[in-house]
Amino acid sequence: MAISNSEGDSAAKEGERKRKRNAEVRPSPSKWRTESEQKLYSSKLLEALRRVRRGAPAEPPRSRAVREAADRALAMAARGRTRWSRAILSTRTLKLKSRKRRPAGPARLKNPLADAAGKKTSPVLQWKARVLGRLIPGCRKLSFLTLLEEASDYIAALEMQVRAMSALTEILSSSSSSSSASGAPPSDQLGSS
């Protein structure tokens, strides 16, 4: 049975539509896994750590300062495109402003975990989403789907942060072992690169 030309054309168009739809469904690779983002973050992290090293002794303890510098560098690498990165970048300004205290009393908030269909989620899922929202900066009062998107992006960014800090640790440990043989302090080698 032969297919007429018009039927063949419509079948070809249908195949193209299916291919386009399938191409749209595939998620693009995470931007945090790219080499350029890794290099950008690593350079920002190194600059931030140098600033912490030069910082005044009146600042917070060094471990907290390193963590805050690493988080700010990560947020800068995200360029404020996500809620968590904007929250990290604005935290510094919030600390400078005095916070107004809310009056005591029961505060009833709208449940951000209810779906668009009006169905309530299970209490266990609500509790887990609330805990997840507290772990990710700036995500306490998000809808469930938005919270999951922010969480996946934040996790990918933290994985990149771990890779960069591990690489930096390897570089510093190898430079300290080579500098102990040469007599030069590792901080001089780090500053010269």
Domain boundaries, the chain: 36-95+120-172
**Which among 147, 161, 25, 23 has a CA at the least distance from the CA of 84?**
147
Give me the count of residues in the chain. Answer: 193
Q: How confident is the prediction along the chain (193 residues), in pLDDT tens digits per residue?
A: 555 555 555 655 666 655 554 444 444 446 677 888 888 888 888 888 888 888 766 666 777 888 888 888 888 888 888 899 999 988 765 555 545 555 565 555 555 555 445 566 788 989 999 999 999 999 998 999 999 999 999 999 999 999 988 988 898 888 777 766 655 555 444 444 4
Q: ∠94-65-79 over CA atoms, to 5°?
A: 60
pTM confidence score: 0.62
Q: What is the C-alpha separation between 83 and 130, in angstroms, rounded?
A: 16
